[in-house]
């Protein structure tokens, strides 16, 4: 099989598409290089070095869109793309208008690609993963094992072209390291986890990651459950990042239009405490999900989603924007609508220690489990396994495990009493985004335990 040049391939597909009756066509090309290494007991358990590409096609006719995706670039798959898209288009009976973008608007040029990770040699990469394990084990003799020590990096390249004249490309890269360690006092094991992401390996301090994971596992030794009841709760910044990501679809205009969001009909109204500001910021320089345009080629932009507690805007792609008679906010991510990067800022921010001091009887939550199943973005309700520390009169008094925290996400935003100043860039897995967020103090949540 011989590869066709991308532009030639697109032109071939477009002419084929027009011949088969599509009014407009679009090709989205994605290429990725993925490297990941797992070390355990000083050995390279998995070493993954891979590249792949995919081509997605959209064809429009009478406001409807046919879609197909392949992983090859030749005349045969070009035909498959067009024919499959056509048969997909023929079953669509929704009257919502599908559109393509013509390339208009301001594209913010940020230096997204650094290339530092790609320039590392294999042995340097192996060394970084091994260093995670060595450091974790050396922290304390009660650290009995570090079962996962992972280092990885990704470079992704996207090109989007359509028959309305759009032609945009960009390349982005970044890396990460994480470790999961086990501490034991001879009774039950406790685990600690720390992940860090960065644009360059120079910013990735593997020793610091390992020590933080180890300290967390050690601090949980002797943890017990607590009495069920309502408690003040401090949610640590990494957990805030995860929860915001899981519930980010409540801001999707498509979900709002489909009556699948708890903040339907709330535009301009208070949905959070007045101290809260939430942004979608596609240009955070340290984030490897930052980007100049979204999956539809529409320019991304920095905007407040919540401004002093008020819902400032929903997030739109082309189709949902057309339905509401507004402009796309550039938030098409794959086939969903999502923030590009999440950023949370307080009107007033307090150092983390100050947040602690404000707690009479509460829980500092440092980890939650079951976000994919125990959190429902349609109702906003959540009930999650959790761990952390019991806080009394501003002091951490004991580690806590085997509890759940339950509540409603929107109620929780409204019940935020104070915002920390300890901003950190964390992975927000469910939104496929990064989140630059601090810890927050919430008036109260339901805790189930003993």
Q: What are phi and psi of 407, to 5 degrees?
A: 175, -165
Encoded tokens for 411: 């109620």
* 125 neighbors 47 (Cβ within 8 angstroms): no
Shortest CB 125 distance to another protein, Å? 11
Nearest to 4 by CA among 55, 68, 45: 55
Distance separating alpha carbons of residues 172 and 293, to the nearest angstrom: 12
Find the length of the chain: 450
Residue 242 beta carbon to another protein: minimum distance, rounded to whole angstroms? 13
Pick 35 or 279: Cβ nearer another protein:
35
Q: Which of 23, 75, 80 is nearest to 57 (CA)?
A: 80
In whole angstroms, the minimum distance from the beta carbon of 267 to another protein comes to 17
CB of 49 to another protein, least distance (A): 5
Q: Are 283 and 112 in contact (CB under 8 A)?
A: no
CB of 268 to another protein, least distance (A): 18
When the beta carbons of 46 and 353 are compared against another protein, the nearer one is 46
3-class secondary structure, 161: strand
**Measured from the CB of residue 90, what is the shortest distance to another protein in angstroms?**
7
Select from 28, 437, 109, 153 the least CA-distant residue to 290.
Answer: 109
Four-CA torsion 277, 283, 284, 286, nearest 10 degrees? 170
User: Within 13 A of 242's CA, how many CA atoms are on the CB side?
Assistant: 17
**Closer residue to another protein (CB): 13 or 436:** 13
> Which C-beta is closer to another protein: that of 46 or that of 104?
46
Q: How far is the CB of 385 from another protein (least distance, A)?
A: 4
Apex 31 CA angle, 29 and 37, nearest 5:
160
CA distance 57 to 17: 10
Angstrom distance (rounded) from CA 352 to CA 379: 30
Residue number with CB closer to another protein (200 or 408): 408
Closer residue to another protein (CB): 70 or 396? 70
Minimum distance between the CB of residue 387 and another protein, rounded to whole angstroms? 8
User: In the bound complex, what is the minimum distance in angstroms from residue 47's beta carbon to another protein?
Assistant: 4
Place of tokens 């088969």: 20
Q: Which of these, 48, 70, 295, lies nearest to 154 by C-alpha position?
A: 48
* Residue among 172, 202, 115 at smallest CA distance from 289: 172
CA distance 5 to 322: 34
Largest CA distance in the chain: 73
- Exposure string (b/e) for 142-156, b if CB count within 10 Å is 16 or more? ebbbbebbbbbbbbb
Q: Which is nearer to another protein, 36 or 294 (CB)?
A: 36
Nearer to another protein among residue 290 and residue 328 (C-beta) = 328
- Please identify, using beta-carbon distances, which residue of 100 and 419 lies nearer to another protein: 100
14 versus 231: smaller Cβ distance to another protein: 231
Instruction: State which residue, 84 or 281, has the beta carbon closest to another protein.
Output: 84
Give CA–CA dist 133/43, Å, rounded.
10
Q: How far is the CB of 37 from another protein (least distance, A)?
A: 10
**Closest separation in Å from C-beta 352 to another protein:** 26
């Amino acid at each position: 099989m011989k590869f066709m040049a991308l532009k030639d391939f697109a032109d071939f597909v477009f002419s084929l598409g027009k011949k088969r009756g599509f009014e407009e066509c679009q090709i989205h090309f994605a290429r990725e290089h993925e490297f990941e290494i797992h070390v355990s007991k000083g050995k390279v358990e998995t070493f993954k070095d891979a590249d792949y590409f995919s081509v997605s096609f959209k064809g429009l006719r009478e406001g409807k869109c046919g879609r197909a995706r392949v992983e090859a670039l030749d005349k045969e798959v070009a035909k498959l793309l067009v024919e499959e898209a056509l048969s997909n288009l023929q079953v669509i009976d929704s009257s919502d208008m599908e559109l393509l973008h013509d390339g208009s608007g301001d594209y913010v040029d940020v230096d997204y690609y650094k290339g530092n990770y790609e320039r590392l040699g294999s042995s340097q990469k192996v060394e970084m993963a091994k260093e995670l394990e060595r450091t974790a084990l050396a922290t304390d003799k009660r650290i009995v094992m570090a079962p996962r020590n992972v280092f990885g990096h990704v470079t992704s390249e996207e090109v989007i072209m359509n028959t309305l004249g759009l032609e945009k490309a960009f390349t982005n890269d970044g890396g990460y390291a994480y470790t999961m360690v086990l501490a034991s006092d001879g009774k039950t094991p406790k685990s600690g986890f720390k992940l860090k992401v960065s644009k360059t390996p120079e910013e990735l301090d593997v020793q610091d990651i390992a020590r933080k994971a180890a300290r967390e596992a050690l601090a949980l030794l002797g943890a017990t459950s607590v009495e069920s009841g309502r408690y003040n709760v401090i949610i640590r910044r990494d957990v805030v990042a995860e929860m915001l990501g899981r519930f980010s679809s409540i801001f999707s205009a498509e979900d709002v239009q489909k009556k699948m969001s708890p903040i339907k009909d709330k535009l301009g109204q208070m949905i959070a405490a007045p101290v809260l500001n939430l942004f979608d910021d596609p240009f955070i320089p340290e984030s490897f999900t930052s980007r100049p345009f979204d999956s539809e080629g529409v320019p991304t932009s920095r905007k407040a989603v919540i401004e002093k507690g008020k819902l400032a805007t929903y997030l739109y792609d082309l189709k949902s924007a057309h339905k509401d008679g507004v402009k796309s906010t550039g938030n098409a991510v794959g086939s969903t609508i999502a923030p590009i990067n999440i950023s949370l800022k307080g009107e007033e921010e307090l150092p983390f220690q100050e947040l602690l001091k404000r707690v009479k009887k509460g829980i500092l939550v440092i980890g939650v489990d079951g976000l994919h199943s125990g959190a429902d973005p349609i109702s906003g309700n959540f009930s999650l396994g959790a761990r952390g520390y019991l806080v009394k009169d501003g002091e951490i008094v004991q580690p806590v495990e085997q509890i759940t925290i339950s509540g409603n996400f929107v109620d929780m935003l409204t019940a935020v009493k104070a915002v920390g100043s300890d901003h950190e860039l964390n992975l927000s897995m469910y939104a496929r985004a990064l989140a630059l967020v601090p810890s927050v103090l919430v008036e109260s949540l339901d805790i189930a335990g003993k």
